[in-house]
Structure formats: C-alpha cells, structure tokens
Amino acid sequence: MNWASKRVCVTGGAGFLGSFVVEELQRRGARDVFVPRSADYDLTTEPGVARLFHDALPDVLIHLAAVVGGIGANKDNPGWFFYANAMMGIQLIEYARRHNVEKAVIAGTICAYPKFTPVPFREEDLWDGYPEETNAPYGIAKKALLVQCQAYRQQYGMNAVYLLPVNLYGPRDNFDLHSSHVIPALIRKCLEAKERGETELRAWGDGTPTREFLYVHDAARGIVMAAESYDGAEPVNLGSGMEISIRDLTETIARLCGFEGKIVWEVEKPNGQPRRQLDVSRAKAAFGFEAQTAFEDGLRETIAWYRASVQADRAEDFQVPTGA
C-alpha cells in the first residue's frame, strides 16, 4: 500500500481509536486522510453516507465509527446501539462497493462472540452461540457487517476485511463515568477517591470475570497493518493475548493511582461475559501483528495522560480573563 498516493477515509477518525489510526497512517506516509465529523455527516442515514462518499472520494475506507459504552450504557440503550451500528456499517459498505473503493477495513467487536466461548476465543467460534445479553444488540449489529463483507467479496469481488479488536485503553479514552469502559472508569474513580481522602472504592460486580486489553497505539498499528497486508475473507482478532480478572485489574489500577483504601464489590451488579481472551495467532500469521506495549506501561501512560488533562481543565477553569 503506497499511502502517499491514496485518499483515505477514516470514520470515527476524530475519536479515541480513530485519532491514533490517523496518526499511524500519517506516520506511514498518508497525505490525504478524510475524517468525517458526526455534526456534518449523520452516518446512520443514507443521505449522510452518500454525501460522505461524494465529498471524500476514498480509495481506502477504514470504518471505526461506532456507538459504544460499558455494561450500563448497553443496558440503557440496546435499541439505539443496535440500530445506529447496523445502519452505519451496512450503508458504508454498500456505498464503498458502489464507489469501487479499493480496500475497506471494518472494525467489529469481541462483544460479537458467544457468551460462553471457550478461552482463548478463536475466530472459528464466532457463530457458536448467542452473545452475552447485556451487549448482544451491539455485538450482533457489528457481526452482521462481517456477513456483509463476506457476501460482497463473494458476489462483487469487494476487498473488504473484518477485524475484531479486544477492549482498548490508553490516552484520549472516554473518562465519563456514565459511558466509559472499565479501565478509564477505574482510573477516574481511584484518582478522585484518593484526592478526596476516601477509604473505600465501590466496584461493579464481584471481580471474577476476566478481560483482555490492547493498548490503543498497538490497535492502531494493527489496523493499518491489516489495511496494508491482509486481503482475506475470514475475521481476524486483534489483541494482546493477556487475560486478567477484573479484581486483579482493579487492584493494579488502585496501586498505580496510589489509592490505598478498601475495594467494595457491588455483587448485585451484572458481571457481563464471564471470560475474554483472544487467540491472536491469525493476526500474526496473516499480517505480522503482535502487541508490543506491556500492560502496566500502558496503564501508567493512560493514568499520566488523564492526570495531565484534569490539571489542564482546572487551569483553564481558573484562568483570569484578559482585561479583568
């Protein structure tokens, strides 16, 4: 892939993962990267998607835009999460076909895997059961895009590939406690509890589920590598291959944040999927991707970024207006 000669459209390119993908593309020589803003293009509507392709004229489409959230957000918005993610993806892939896009890279989700998938999750297990109930509408909407990519490849010869990124974390993540995922939520809770001198921290569930996490820099590199070098019909996991329990994760983040109080588990809250860990061998074999960032190193970088952003916000709040 000669990025310097390609016009690339990255949906979600102004978001958490997307911003790192755009930077990775630029680092590899891309000069013409189009990032649609949701205020300008409503990708849940056909007119919005049609106007995007009219304006962007992409050679390569990387679809990262999604309506996402943690367990609570998924429970509160199952209909919207299904509709928005399905409509965006289905229409984008169809318009990519109509415009003869050279390559389409579609980001799925590991929420598409069955609730009781054997660990480690292999791509072949994707259809062996129903997803975990709290995020099934989101997971099924995204999994439908895999079927579309494969069907379009079969009927139209479209070069569309489908990736399954594991839970991401890193700088620029969403730290809003109402919609964030587990790592940014825990970082914020621990730092705020420490600052207020609290002796307890309340955590969701019983701590037994396990998760796998991928640092956002690594994820961006993997997506661009797939765009460059993977042309297969089969889905590909993107992950680190490391499994950690929510209990161990919470204790690790508390330690790195300097919170020394007691962690109280709210066992009446849902745990979500019991275990998550990916088989990442296909990504390595297909396009040479392996995660490079040690987990605690990534957590330290994320904590440092959030601390700096909070300090910057406070400095701005207390800034004396010019001429006062």
Q: What is the dihedral of CA 95, 98, 102, 107, to 10 degrees?
A: 20
Q: Which of 173, 174, 152, 171 is nearest to 161 (CA)?
A: 152
Residue 110, both tokens: 């590991």
138 is catalytic: yes
In whole angstroms, give the CA distance from residue 186 to residue 142. Answer: 26
Token match 């975990």: residue?
132
| Omega before 120 within 30 of 0, i.e. cis | yes
Q: Which of 138, 152, 215, 306 is catalytic?
A: 138
The letter for the amino acid at 152 is: Y
> What are the residues whose beta carbons fall under 8 Å from the beta carbon of 255, sequence distance 6 or more?
none
CA angle, 323 as apex, 321 and 324 as ends, to 5°? 65
- The one-character DSSP state at 114 is B
Total Cβ atoms within 10 A of residue 212: 24
Query: Which H/E stretch holds residue 165?
Result: strand 160-165
Task: Report, as residue numbers or ranges, the catalytic residues.
Answer: 138
